[in-house]
Amino acid sequence: MALIINFSDAAAIGIHGMVLLARINKPMNAIDLSKRLGKSKHHVGKVMQRLVKMGFLGSQRGPTGGFYLSADISKISMYDIYSAIEGPVALKDCSDDYRICPVKKCIQNNVVNHLSSQFVDYMKNETLRDYL
């Protein structure tokens, strides 16, 4: 079955990892996060480090260390997390290599751009706080 919107593993790790950290409200290391998320500790660590670089998370070394939230959960939108990992959602031009569109009104771009805009609006209005 084809999916219109599908999160990459990295985006899913980032979003779910941030929600887990918001819920427990204490540092969690990559090994524990990977067990909770069912993903490789290396992939989880890489995604979480990206979120550290973007300022959403902090990290602390040592036996009681791990990743922790470093920003206000009511100000971090799902789109902030998604775009930190995937980059911004771009509106799409026609993917076909037509010099002249065979129809007057572009079918593909209208649907794809409309759904992309709705996705961005939805994700921008959902914050980490909404998932506690």
What is the model's pLDDT at position 92?
67
Distance spanning both ends of the chain, measured CA to CA? 31
User: Whose structure tokens read 């490789």?
Assistant: 40
Tens of pLDDT, residue by residue over 56-68, are: 999 999 888 899 9
53 phi and psi, to 5 degrees? -60, -30
Distance CA 75, CA 83 (A): 15
What is the model's pLDDT at position 70?
95
Tens of pLDDT, residue by residue over 11-49, are: 999 999 999 999 998 999 999 999 999 999 999 999 999
Tens of pLDDT, residue by residue over 73-101, are: 999 999 999 999 999 887 766 655 555 66
H helices within the chain, ranges in order?
Answer: 9-24, 30-37, 41-53, 78-86, 107-125
* CATH classification at residue 18: 1.10.10.10
What is the model's pLDDT at position 67?
97
**Of 85, 89, 83, nearest to 116 (Cα)?**
89
Q: Between vectors from CA 119 to CA 82 and to CA 85, what angle results, nearest 5°?
A: 10
Please return the burial class of 25, using the count of CB atoms within 10 Å of its CB with bins 0-12, 13-18 and 19+: exposed
Per-residue confidence band for 113, with pLDDT thresholds at 50, 70 and 90: confident
The two three-digit tokens of residue 102, written as one number: 């065979």
Q: Tell me the residue range of the domain where 67 lies.
A: 9-131
The two three-digit tokens of residue 35, written as one number: 């067990």
Residue 1 forms part of a structural domain:
no
| Maximum Cα interatomic distance, the chain, rounded to a whole number of Å | 63
Averaged pLDDT for residues 104-131 = 86
Say yes or no to pLDDT of 10 above 60: yes
